[in-house]
Amino acid sequence: MTYVRNAWYVAAWEQDLPADAPAAMSILGEPIVLWRAGEKLVAMEDRCVHRHAPLSLGRCEGASLRCMYHGLRFDADGRCVEIPGQELIPPTARVKTYPALAKHSWVWVWMGDPALADEALVPPAVGYDDPDYILGHGFLDYEAEARLINDNLLDFSHLSYVHAQSFGTGPEFAGSLPRITPLPRGIRYERWLEGTFGAAMRKSDVPLDSWQTYDFLIPGVLLMWSANYPPGTAKALGHSPPEKLDAIAGLNFTSQAVTPTGEGTARYFFSWGPHCKYGDEAMRDGMMALADRAFGEDKTMIEAQQKVIARDPERPVMPTAHDKGVTLFNRLVQRLAAEEAEARAAAA
Ligand code: FES
Ligand SMILES: [Fe+2]
């Protein structure tokens, strides 16, 4: 499966990473150990240069990580700084490191050319440090290609079917098309639903116009805002986006990130919660319970879909009108990946 390498991949929720112990993760099939050298977040190959024990079974010692097989110790640049019982440290005693940083509550790892790792390319998510939102978070491991989860998040018409019970989405959602616009590193999704009564726990007794927008960005990060407005707002605005998020109710944010861990496996990270003006911790907890249920519905469908595809992977899909976002995004992935391959070939 083709994925972009010159991108920041979500490796963990920052708050889930232990303060003084290494953690194992795998991205694009490469085993990675994450650890903190003081303030600095380090990502390196999860393989000791000595006899290839996983460094994720090692021990953090201040600004260094010790392999707990025979005790070799490495600094934040992957350089071996101690070999028990031996004075000389060969220059080859160095573990590969990846550019890594923590931002918006996520730990991001750059999987491509380290010289191109640019912090400006970290998707502008909302994290726990944003005082405006009250978020919960979690993740799910998938026995399916990340690509299939990206496709799912790029076509919300499935809400009317997969999530009819959990989110309470009616058939009108699949019955009309959102506006999809290309972005330099993704696509933007925008839609109004007019005169609805809200879904599931955000049900209202009066009809509302509900606005939903998300950006889906390379390598597979969804940043979504939803909000409710008085009936007639959509029409009054000519169905263009509301200027400000000056909603009357239900303003909330969700971030979702899909990281390919290996061939046919992925980790799906998510957050969800209300704007503090429109909700509280109890609402956040209710939303997270709903998310657990709904994201389980996606997992059941996508893992089953993966099994069907595996029986005959070459058979082409048959896109529909709702696939515009899927098609645009996957074309962008193919183009960026081809450009990366060209740059690698030119450098070789
Ligand atoms: S395998 Fe790491 S010290 Fe021996
Ligand atoms: Fe879904």
Q: What is the 3-state secondary structure (H, E, C) of 47-67?
A: CCCCCCCCHHHCEEECCEEEC
Measured CA distances, 225 to 240, 242, 255 (Å): 15, 12, 9
What six digits make up the tokens of 17?
């990473």
63-72 pLDDT tens trace = 999 999 999 9
256-299 pLDDT tens trace = 999 999 999 999 999 999 999 989 999 999 999 999 999 999 99
For residue 36, the one-letter residue type is: R
Same-domain pairing of 72 and 163: no
How many whole angstroms separate alpha carbon 124 and alpha carbon 298?
Answer: 25
Peptide bond into 231 cis (omega under 30): no
Domain boundary among 121, 152, 186: 121
For ligand 1, atom 3: residue with the closest CA: 70
- For position 32, what pLDDT does the model report? 98
Residue 249: pLDDT band (50, 70, 90) is confident
CA 79 to ligand 2 center in whole angstroms: 43
Q: Is 264 left (phi over 0), alpha (psi -120 to 50) or beta?
A: left
Residue 201 predicted with pLDDT over 60: no
Is the Cβ–Cβ distance between 43 and 36 less than 8 Å? Answer: no
Same-domain pairing of 43 and 190: no
What six digits make up the tokens of 20?
């003084």
Q: Say how many domains are in the chain.
A: 2
- The sign of the CA dihedral 80, 85, 90, 92 is negative
Percent of the chain with pLDDT over 90: 85
CA 177 to ligand 1 center in whole angstroms: 56
Same-domain pairing of 166 and 260: yes
> In ligand 1, which atom is closest to the CA atom of 70?
3
Helix (H) or strand (E) holding 342: helix 324-347
Within 8 A by CB and 6+ apart from 224, the residues are 212, 213, 214, 253, 254, 255, 256
CA 125 to chain centre: 10
Domain boundary among 71, 96, 121: 121
> In ligand 1, which atom is closest to the CA atom of 55?
2
CATH of the domain at 17: 2.102.10.10
Residue 305: pLDDT band (50, 70, 90) is very high
Mutate to test the pocket of ligand 1, among 66, 67, 73, 82 (most ligand atoms within 8 A of CB): 67
102-159 pLDDT tens trace = 999 999 999 999 999 999 999 999 998 899 999 999 999 999 999 999 999 999 999 9
The residue with greater pLDDT, 230 or 202, is 230
CA 61 to ligand 1 center in whole angstroms: 16
Same-domain pairing of 247 and 193: yes
Ligand 1 is surrounded, with C-beta below 6 A, by 48, 50-51, 53, 67, 69-72
Helical H segments across 253-320, by residue range: 281-311
> In ligand 1, which atom is closest to the CA atom of 52?
1
- For position 9, what pLDDT does the model report? 98
| Mean pLDDT score, 1-20 | 96
Same-domain pairing of 71 and 101: yes
Among 54-58, 176-180, 236-240, 332-336, name the one with the lowest average pLDDT: 236-240
CA 90 to ligand 1 center in whole angstroms: 15
Same-domain pairing of 279 and 154: yes
> In terms of residue numbers, what domain contains 149?
136-334
- For position 200, what pLDDT does the model report? 54
User: What average pLDDT does the structure give for the chain?
Assistant: 94
Ligand nearest to the CA of 49: 1
Is the Cβ–Cβ distance between 27 and 4 less than 8 Å? Answer: no
In a domain, 15, yes or no: yes
- For position 243, what pLDDT does the model report? 77
Question: Contacts by 60-64 with C-beta closer than 8 Å and gap 24+?
Answer: 60/20, 60/21, 60/22, 60/35, 60/36, 62/37, 62/38, 63/37, 63/38, 64/37
Same-domain pairing of 149 and 80: no
40 half-sphere exposure, CB direction, 13 A CA radius: 16
- For position 203, what pLDDT does the model report? 64
Same-domain pairing of 145 and 97: no
- For position 173, what pLDDT does the model report? 85
* Residue count (the chain): 348
| Mean pLDDT score, 22-41 | 97
Angle at which helices 146-153 and 281-311 pack, to 10 degrees? 120
Least Cα distance to 149 among 319, 300, 4 occurs for 300
Same-domain pairing of 144 and 278: yes
Residue 45: pLDDT band (50, 70, 90) is very high
> In ligand 1, which atom is closest to the CA atom of 48?
2
| Mean pLDDT score, 328-335 | 98
